[in-house]
Chain A
Amino acid sequence: MMKSAWLYLAAFALAYLGLASLAYGMERHHKQLTRAHASAVLKALKRVTPLAAWGWLLAALYLAISLEGAGPGSVLWLGNLTAGAMLLALMLTYAPGLARGLAMLSLPLILLSMVGAYWA
């Protein structure tokens, strides 16, 4: 039970990270997420993240399917995408700092939940 709770969290975090990475590559949201800082590194990141995003999203799909089976798993994935995107959109509008923080937090969170699931 504990084990799958960790993995469900990871499935959501992966979906959120994927969506946030997509947003990072979009002009308006890039500004919100970087507080309009412009540096060569951030510019390069802006090109790379949307590509990486598809990897995160696919990983989220894979994890959801391995948790729930093909049918319910793909429904879970779509649900995670919807909830994650709504959360992201709200935060981009009202608290872009939080959106950025959660995106940066989600990678260690995913790793941590993998470890958590392994030990649980």
Chain B
Amino acid sequence: MKDAFRASMAWVHTWAGLLVCWVLLLIFAAGTASYYRNEITLWMQPELHAIAPSQDSQAHMAERAVIALQQRAPDAKQWFIGFPNERSQGLQIFWEDKLPPGVEPTRERFHDVMLNPDTGLPLEVRETKGGNFFYRLHFDLHYLPVTLARWIVGFCAMFMLVALVTGVIIHRRIFKDFFTFRPGKGQRSWLDAHNITGVLALPYHLMITYTGLMLLMYLYMPTPIVVAYQGNNQAFFGELFREEPAPEPSGRPATLTSIAGLVTEAQRIWQGAAGEVSVDHMHINNPNDAAASVSLDKAGDNGLIESGMSLTFDGVSGKLLHEVDAEQRAVVQTATAMRSLHEANFAQPLLRALFFISGLGGCLMIASGAVLWTVKKRQAQAKRLASGLPPTWGLRLVEALNLGAIAGLPIAFATFFWANRILPVGLAARDEWEIHSVFIAWAAVLLLAQWRPGRHMWQLMLWLGGLMWLALPVLNAMLTPQSALFTTVLHGPVAVAGFDITAMLLGAAICFAAWRTGKVRSPKLSAQPKHRRELAETEVA
């Protein structure tokens, strides 16, 4: 009875995992990279590296941001000011154009400029999506309508959850083999690798999959909102987050109150006495209009729960209109705790590194599981293969997809960073071309893999990927010498040095994998006639 149950769960585990493993690998790898999305963005904007963190007060910065916004967009619908923090040195301003009635809103109405926080002058930064590319990629994919992409990702995540639970059920020796890895033993080694990366980071895998699904639950389970709010999502979120709807502009011009004064006032309210309480960001609705309002959001403390505290002031009189303190937001806090856990928003650098390591473990678990399927299938088809017949089309397909997805992924991701340094700064739609180059590189590997899914191709692609990562710091030092590793190690920014070092470590690990792929041969292989050996070489052991 117990064994029949296990056997049926093994079937579920195998097929649920295999069906989604390639997309899952992409989601996991991009999601893991997203833990360092600000650091990645910084690395990809070498123009910002020479800027030292500002020591100035937020009130002064707000003043400079307002001057810059008044110059650029006095009639905007809303302004946004994002203050520098530990993970991003620039002062961000952002505005949304007011559209005449009847005009269809497009993304063109948003504008984004990075300022030097000490001077208020714009920083000339190359166009790039930076780490946000990976962040978007891991739930919106690319080249697909967002809603469709999120359904695909949700489908894959659900299968992941099924695969995790069934995986625990079918693992007979979960404690006995807890620390066991036996390399160089073919199928045994792949199973060990799959088990060990799965079991040791199991709390992470369960958490990340579950919270990931939860984050998009309003999309996946829309019925409650459809029934209770007649499908008016805005009304639902407005009530949930207790957001006051932004006031309509009155059309009467008015002088904006001192924004710097409001920053100081907000810090006073939050701290009691004025001190180092920081504002995360602020919105100014209807600037220079009689109906202007200003809301400030407090930066989160180091906790699982974001601060969620905000203040809204009248933009003309400067009177406090609305205050949301942490206690009022139990519902929101519950929702943001899930998000916080998923995105590691609360995590200091060490903890973030542990999330990153666990994420890499997840990638290895998915990749080793996918390879394990082909190794097992090859064993099942041993007779057929020994008689000189080619593998079945299903096995060949999975082998080729594995090669393209697993060995192609490091190449594709590295291409993103290569393109960032190599593409000319003035190129039109430069940020889009960085992304296109990722998918062009990946498509090339997938095609090569379909053409010849053998051990030699594995080796070639792994070497290529590994060397591309290893060479990233060299490329960085050659094309942007002021950001070279030996400079950043001594003078910062630490994040840029960390990126280069991580790239080298990843590159070294992938090169090691390439070297192992070339080295490991089954001992019987040399005794076989040549044409069989070629076939057997496609087995990845």
Q: Are B200 and A76 in touch, CB under 8 angstroms?
A: no
Q: Does A46 contact B (CB under 8 A)?
A: no
CB distance from B183 to the nearest CB of A (A): 6
Binds B, one of A35-43, A55-63, A67-75, A100-108: A67-75
Known: A71-B303, A72-B304, A79-B354. A89 touches B196 (CB 8 A): yes
Known: A69-B303, A72-B302. A89 touches B354 (CB 8 A): no
Residues of chain B with a CB closer than 8 A to A68's CB: 302, 351
Contact for A93 among B182, B200, B302, CB less than 8 A: B182
Q: Are B347 and A89 in touch, CB under 8 angstroms?
A: no
Q: Does B254 contact A (CB under 8 A)?
A: no
Q: Are A85 and B303 in touch, CB under 8 angstroms?
A: no
Q: Mark A66-99, 1 if CB is under 8 A from B, else 0.
A: 0011011001101110110110111011000000
Q: Are A82 and B180 in touch, CB under 8 angstroms?
A: no
Residues of chain A with a CB closer than 8 A to B178's CB: 22-23, 26, 85
Residues of chain A with a CB closer than 8 A to B183's CB: 93
Q: Are B303 and A82 in touch, CB under 8 angstroms?
A: no
Residues of chain B with a CB closer than 8 A to A22's CB: 178
Contact for B179 among A8, A23, A72, A79, CB less than 8 A: A23
19 pairs, CB–CB < 8 Å, chain A vs chain B:
A23-B179, A68-B302, A68-B351, A71-B346, A72-B302, A72-B303, A72-B347, A75-B304, A76-B350, A76-B354, A79-B355, A82-B354, A83-B354, A85-B179, A86-B197, A89-B179, A89-B181, A89-B196, A93-B181
Q: Does A28 contact B (CB under 8 A)?
A: yes
New A-B contacts (18) at CB < 8 Å, excluding given A68-B302, A86-B357: A19-B179, A23-B179, A26-B178, A71-B305, A75-B341, A75-B351, A76-B350, A76-B351, A79-B357, A79-B358, A82-B201, A82-B204, A82-B354, A83-B357, A85-B179, A89-B196, A92-B181, A93-B183
Query: Size class of B's contact patch?
Result: 20 to 34
- Identity of the chain A residue whose Cβ is nearest the Cβ of B355 in the assembled complex: A79
CB distance from B368 to the nearest CB of A (A): 14
Contact for A86 among B182, B341, B361, CB less than 8 A: B361
In the docked arrangement, what's the CA distance between A85 and B203, Å?
Answer: 13
Q: Are A82 and B351 in touch, CB under 8 angstroms?
A: no
Known: A78-B203, A82-B203, A83-B357. A28 touches B180 (CB 8 A): yes
Q: A-side interface residues toward B, CB under 8 Å? A: 8, 19, 22-23, 26, 28-29, 68-69, 71-72, 75-76, 78-80, 82-83, 85-86, 88-90, 92-93
Q: Mark B158-194, 1 if CB is under 8 A from A, else 0.
A: 0000000000000000001011111100000000000
In the docked arrangement, what's the CA distance between A45 and B355, Å?
Answer: 34
Known: A69-B303, A75-B351. A82 touches B179 (CB 8 A): no
CB distance from B107 to the nearest CB of A (A): 36
Residues of chain B with a CB closer than 8 A to A72's CB: 302-304, 346-347, 351
- Identity of the chain B residue whose Cβ is nearest the Cβ of A27 in the assembled complex: B176
In the docked arrangement, what's the CA distance between A69 and B180, Å?
Answer: 33
Residues of chain B with a CB closer than 8 A to A86's CB: 196-197, 200-201, 357, 361
In the docked arrangement, what's the CA distance between A67 and B354, Å?
Answer: 16
Residues of chain A with a CB closer than 8 A to B358's CB: 79, 82-83
**Which residues 336-361 of B have a CB within 8 angstroms of A?**
337, 341, 346-347, 350-351, 354-355, 357-358, 361
**Which residues 356-385 of B have a CB within 8 angstroms of A?**
357-358, 361
In the docked arrangement, what's the CA distance between A85 and B201, Å?
Answer: 9
- Identity of the chain A residue whose Cβ is nearest the Cβ of B352 in the assembled complex: A79
Q: Are A82 and B302 in touch, CB under 8 angstroms?
A: no
Q: Are B303 and A80 in touch, CB under 8 angstroms?
A: no
CB distance from B357 to the nearest CB of A (A): 5
Residues of chain B with a CB closer than 8 A to A69's CB: 303-304
